[in-house]
Structure 1
Amino acid sequence: MKTTKNILLAALMLICSITTYSQKKNIVFLFADDAGYHDFGFQGSKTFKTPNLDKLAKDGMVFKQAYTTAAVCGPSRAGLLTGRYQQRFGIEENNVPGYMSHSSKLMGDEMGMPLDEKTIADYLKPLGYTSQILGKWHLGNADKYHPLHRGFDEFYGFRGGARSFWPLTQAQAADRPENRLEIGYEKYQEADKYLSDAIADEACNFIERNKNKPFFTYVSFNAVHTPLQATKEDLAKVKGLTGKRKVLAAMTIALDRACGQILDKLKELGLEENTLVVFSNDNGGPDGSKTCNYPLSGCKSNNLEGGIRVPFIMKLPNVIKPGSTYNKPVSMLDMLPTFVNVAGGNASKIKNIDGVDLIPFVTKKNKAEPHKMLFWKKENRGIIRMGDWKMLRFPDRPAELYNIEKDQEENNNLAYKHPEKVKVMFKHLWKWECELERPLWMLKRVYEENAMKRMDDKRTPILD
């Protein structure tokens, strides 16, 4: 009798487990902007205080080798939202008016993500999801590229790539209309508080209104991107730092507080157990903001690890083990298929995406690596990650080869010791590049030269 009861109990637990995973999950994607790899408590920082994100890390899984698809904001967001290498549809560089080469196919507000590319929100809509984007868009200023035309149901944010954390003046709004704070479509109203806090309020309001049906909120913070602006209250909480690092630490306090407010709202409404929460960042920390990418070399705009490897947390109760880590390379390309499958869809039926559903890998149902190869490209620079090896091709010097597993700092160039491996990786990189479209817009050549110089200046990891 006891044995029979045990069998029935085990069967019931299995059924509950299957039901828990098969039920449509809410999806909350917390996305920072230009943050340093090391500038979080869960990443090892002793000077930047992030208690809410540290708790999220303890409740979920921390990924040690998570990569964006680009070392700058706009292209990385295009890859993230489509699950496709953004170079496949002609996006390699940020769409920043005034910096573009006159040979570009698209210029000004027309620089945007092609309209035939589908987003995460497009795929979630037929699955019954209501989708919201907050904060930074940066995928086209023209009306035709607007988030509400790209699958999202709600938008509270700005179309451009960076703006003040305080309300814009009329003069500022007139000078850069893409930076106006927009509610829905063409309704502009500046927030009455610091922008990171306003974004958190809107996220919580959305969650409250949609608590009884599946939802996706893409919380695209502009923190901690420039301009470096913080509240007096947050600045007063920072001890032991001065200058830009102090302001950045205060901005990070606000970012962490906003994330904590959203996580608390999920708990308050009893949604925590049925919600996938992801936190990450769009690219490596830039040198100009005094971010810290330790122990990685490089920074934003170059393809050393410090430019493309980012903090990454994933929490899914009853599926992902709390307090765990994942050490194999993953990509922001993986968000779309992961979100679609968690929403009850079937990402394997989506054609021409480059990402994979991460859940089977992190739950060890699939013990292979999620990606045999990962690629990056910008101008004449091309990068391939294959297993533990990473090769970088440059326009002004011989290729470099690193064993990232043994040398994540990229200090020991092994290209001369392994010429055959370089040759094989060159061929894989070239084959991939032959699948890509020509860039729709390109920076003036001088900015590529500047990016190479920043890479050389940031070759050695620096700990704050």
Structure 2
Amino acid sequence: MKTKRTFYLAFIVMVSLMAFKSHDVPGTHLKKAAVKKPNIIYIMADDLGYGDVGFNGQVKIKTPNLDRMAGEGMIFNQHYSGTAVCGPSRASLMTGTNTAHGHIRELSAWTASGKPVDLLKEEVTVAEELKRAGYKTGIIGKWGLEEGAGTGAPNGQGFDYFYGYKTHMEAHHYYPEYIWQNGQKIVLKDNNPAQKKGTYSNDAFTSKAIGFIKENKNKPFFLYLPFTAPHNEITVPEDSKKQYENLGWTKRPMTAGHYYHDAEGNTTYAGMVSRLDRYVGQILAALKEQGLDDNTLVIFTSDNGPGFDNGFFNSNGSLKGRKLNLYEGGIRVPFAARWPGTIKAGSKTTLASAFWDFLPTACEIAGIKPSSKIDGISYLPILTGKEANQKKHDFLYWEINENQGPWQAIRMGKWKGILAYEKPFELYDLDADPAESTNVAGSNPEMVKKIRETMVSTRTESLEFPLTKRKSHYGNDAN
């Protein structure tokens, strides 16, 4: 009798507990199964201008997939690259540091010693950070941070998988004779760079990227996808030019040399951008097909300002400058982020952010903190609609040093200061004058003084990249 009574009481208690836990009472929920951490895909164009995409006002070149991506997510109107040329810009993205503190502050063509410069082993990349959080990591496309110094291999910098170009000079040709897969050199026997025969490299990158997504669909992954379009050389398969032919466009004859350009530049350039847009559409379709759409943050941007356009496409929009200088057109880049269910569709932000902010953003998404000192600030709060929690930079810093000599620039709130070699100091009010048309340094001496002092105080010295005028070791085709 006692046994039956005990069993009955236990049964009543169990049923009561189950009923209690089924109600929506704070603190009484059963723990849900662990949700897979969000995937992160970072897509980077090469030399694509702020104004080269429809969502930033481009009218000649069609970018329907990018425009849809931006419409389904958030546009950053004031996002900046690491600097105005590829290598140091990409280093800034990977390490979360700006060019005041980074090891790579220019291309290897401009080192003081003449020696190549790679990422150092001790530099911590975003891929290394995310591997700590259990992510599968891959880079497919242009790495450009293993130039021959022996320390920059992507597989030694946190990436589980690499397919693409190691050096930036290799990436100058779209039909390469070889490609790198992890540490192995893969000969592409059907490719001929000069005759532009074989597989267009960016087509292969897209195929490999979709394969990476499928292979890792059941685990969190980080895919860094730096395409080389629309960087020189200006060439694209014929099918991508067709929609731009017979439109009465001004012709731009191209001459082949180091770059094996197609004969006519304008239709080719437009075709390159539209083919890049098609790649983005294929990536988004693959995510949806694999059921990963809602759990994947996709970012699209460019490594610096435009390098090709002579004004026909208005590639820098209303901004002054282009690749290789520090006016807004050289460093302000297109940026769209899509994450269905997390990022509000059709949203925009004027937050001033930069490449070095990506590493802390990725870390916050993954639930970890950066393991080394960085310059970046996570923009996850702005992505998730928590603008009140978004921290902001006191200032943003850039430098570049090529044929024109050293330039430094700082953005501090609405103010932008530029110190170019052997030129008067320039100061612009970006709120009133985003095109940097009127230098107001003379009427704002205190702000000039503050920015100049910050340029000195924030910068650490670099033996390879001093602020002195130098000559390129590689000739005029280094970029």
**TM superposition score normalised by structure 1:** 0.84
Task: Say whether residues 1:129 and 2:135 are aligned partners.
Answer: yes
Q: Give the match's secondary structure for 2:89.
A: helix
- Cα 1:86–1:386 change in 2 (3 A) is closer
Q: Give the match's secondary structure for 1:88.
A: coil
Structure 2, unmatched stretches of 5+, are 1-22, 192-197, 253-264
Q: Distance in 1 between matches of 2:118 and 2:66?
A: 32
Q: Distance in 2 between matches of 1:294 and 1:390?
A: 18
Q: What is the letter of the counterpart of residue 272 of structure 2?
A: M
Task: Say whether residues 1:422 and 2:448 are aligned partners.
Answer: yes
Q: Distance in 2 between matches of 1:365 and 1:325?
A: 12
Q: Distance in 1 between matches of 2:119 and 2:220?
A: 27
Given that 1:402 and 1:415 are in contact with CA atoms closer than 8 Å, whether structure 2 keeps it comes out as yes
| Residue 92 of structure 1, CA deviation | 1.9
- Cα 1:297–1:130 change in 2 (3 A) is same
- For 1:158, the equivalent position in structure 2 comes to 165
Task: Say whether residues 1:61 and 2:74 are aligned partners.
Answer: yes
Aligned residue among 437, 453, 457 for 2:462: 437
- For 1:364, the equivalent position in structure 2 comes to 386
Q: What is the letter of the counterpart of residue 366 of structure 1?
A: A
Given that 2:74 and 2:343 are in contact with CA atoms closer than 8 Å, whether structure 1 keeps it comes out as yes
Given that 1:105 and 1:441 are in contact with CA atoms closer than 8 Å, whether structure 2 keeps it comes out as no
- For 1:188, the equivalent position in structure 2 comes to 186
| Residue 345 of structure 1, CA deviation | 1.7
Q: Distance in 1 between matches of 2:471 and 2:365?
A: 44
| Residue 95 of structure 1, CA deviation | 2.1
Given that 1:37 and 1:293 are in contact with CA atoms closer than 8 Å, whether structure 2 keeps it comes out as yes
| Residue 10 of structure 1, CA deviation | 11
Q: Give the match's secondary structure for 1:406.
A: coil
Task: Say whether residues 1:256 and 2:263 are aligned partners.
Answer: no
Given that 1:23 and 1:344 are in contact with CA atoms closer than 8 Å, whether structure 2 keeps it comes out as no
Structure with larger Rg: 2
| CA RMSD of superposed structures (Å) | 2.8
Given that 2:142 and 2:168 are in contact with CA atoms closer than 8 Å, whether structure 1 keeps it comes out as yes
Q: Distance in 2 between matches of 1:148 and 1:353?
A: 22
Given that 2:395 and 2:413 are in contact with CA atoms closer than 8 Å, whether structure 1 keeps it comes out as yes
More helix by share: 1
Please list the CA deviations of residues 298-347 of structure 1 after superposition, one character each: whole Å capped at 9, or x if unmatched.
00000000000000011122221111001121111111111111122234
Given that 1:223 and 1:251 are in contact with CA atoms closer than 8 Å, whether structure 2 keeps it comes out as yes
Q: Give the match's secondary structure for 2:101.
A: helix
- For 1:411, the equivalent position in structure 2 comes to 437
Q: Distance in 1 between matches of 2:167 and 2:333?
A: 22
Task: Say whether residues 1:324 and 2:347 are aligned partners.
Answer: yes
Aligned residue among 301, 316, 320 for 1:280: 301
Q: Give the match's secondary structure for 2:162.
A: strand
Given that 2:119 and 2:151 are in contact with CA atoms closer than 8 Å, whether structure 1 keeps it comes out as no
Given that 1:64 and 1:328 are in contact with CA atoms closer than 8 Å, whether structure 2 keeps it comes out as yes
| Residue 443 of structure 1, CA deviation | 9.4
Q: Distance in 1 between matches of 2:33 and 2:367?
A: 12
Given that 2:319 and 2:329 are in contact with CA atoms closer than 8 Å, whether structure 1 keeps it comes out as yes
| Residue 287 of structure 1, CA deviation | 4.7
Please list the CA deviations of residues 90-111 of structure 1 after superposition, one character each: whole Å capped at 9, or x if unmatched.
3221124xxx46xx2351xx42
Task: Say whether residues 1:375 and 2:397 are aligned partners.
Answer: yes
Q: Give the match's secondary structure for 1:421.
A: helix
Q: Give the match's secondary structure for 1:131.
A: strand
| Percent pairwise identity | 35
Structure 1, unmatched stretches of 5+, are 1-7, 170-179, 452-464
Q: Distance in 2 between matches of 1:377 and 1:220?
A: 22
Which aligned pairs between 1:210-359 and structure 2 lie closer than 5 A?
A: 210-239=216-245, 240=247, 241=249, 242-243=251-252, 244-287=265-308, 292-347=315-370, 350-359=371-380
- Cα 1:289–1:412 change in 2 (3 A) is closer
- Cα 1:21–1:309 change in 2 (3 A) is farther
Which aligned pairs between 1:37-48 and structure 2 lie closer than 5 A?
A: 37-48=50-61
Please list the CA deviations of residues 342-400 of structure 1 after superposition, one character each: whole Å capped at 9, or x if unmatched.
122234xx331111110113423435552121011234322111000011112212101
Which has the higher mean CA deviation after the structures are superposed, 61-70 or 284-293?
Answer: 284-293
- For 1:72, the equivalent position in structure 2 comes to 85
- For 1:5, the equivalent position in structure 2 comes to none
Given that 2:57 and 2:317 are in contact with CA atoms closer than 8 Å, whether structure 1 keeps it comes out as no
| Residue 66 of structure 1, CA deviation | 0.3
Given that 2:108 and 2:114 are in contact with CA atoms closer than 8 Å, whether structure 1 keeps it comes out as no
Q: Give the match's secondary structure for 1:280.
A: strand
Task: Say whether residues 1:394 and 2:420 are aligned partners.
Answer: yes
| Residue 49 of structure 1, CA deviation | 0.7
- Cα 1:294–1:414 change in 2 (3 A) is same
Given that 1:131 and 1:153 are in contact with CA atoms closer than 8 Å, whether structure 2 keeps it comes out as yes
- For 1:175, the equivalent position in structure 2 comes to none
Q: Give the match's secondary structure for 1:428.
A: helix
- Cα 1:233–1:441 change in 2 (3 A) is farther
Which has the higher mean CA deviation after the structures are superposed, 214-223 or 185-194?
Answer: 185-194
Q: What is the letter of the counterpart of residue 425 of structure 2?
A: A
Please list the CA deviations of residues 120-176 of structure 1 after superposition, one character each: whole Å capped at 9, or x if unmatched.
11111121111110111111233532111111011110112143554334xxxxxxx
Q: Distance in 2 between matches of 1:222 and 1:442?
A: 29
**TM superposition score normalised by structure 2:** 0.81
Q: Give the match's secondary structure for 1:216.
A: strand
- Cα 1:193–1:148 change in 2 (3 A) is same
- Cα 1:423–1:231 change in 2 (3 A) is same
Q: Distance in 1 between matches of 2:151 and 2:64?
A: 40
Q: What is the letter of the counterpart of residue 42 of structure 1?
A: F
Given that 2:74 and 2:348 are in contact with CA atoms closer than 8 Å, whether structure 1 keeps it comes out as yes
Please list the CA deviations of residues 245-290 of structure 1 after superposition, one character each: whole Å capped at 9, or x if unmatched.
2111000111111111111000000000000110000000015676
Q: What is the letter of the counterpart of residue 413 of structure 1?
A: N
Given that 1:280 and 1:311 are in contact with CA atoms closer than 8 Å, whether structure 2 keeps it comes out as yes
- For 2:44, the equivalent position in structure 1 comes to 31
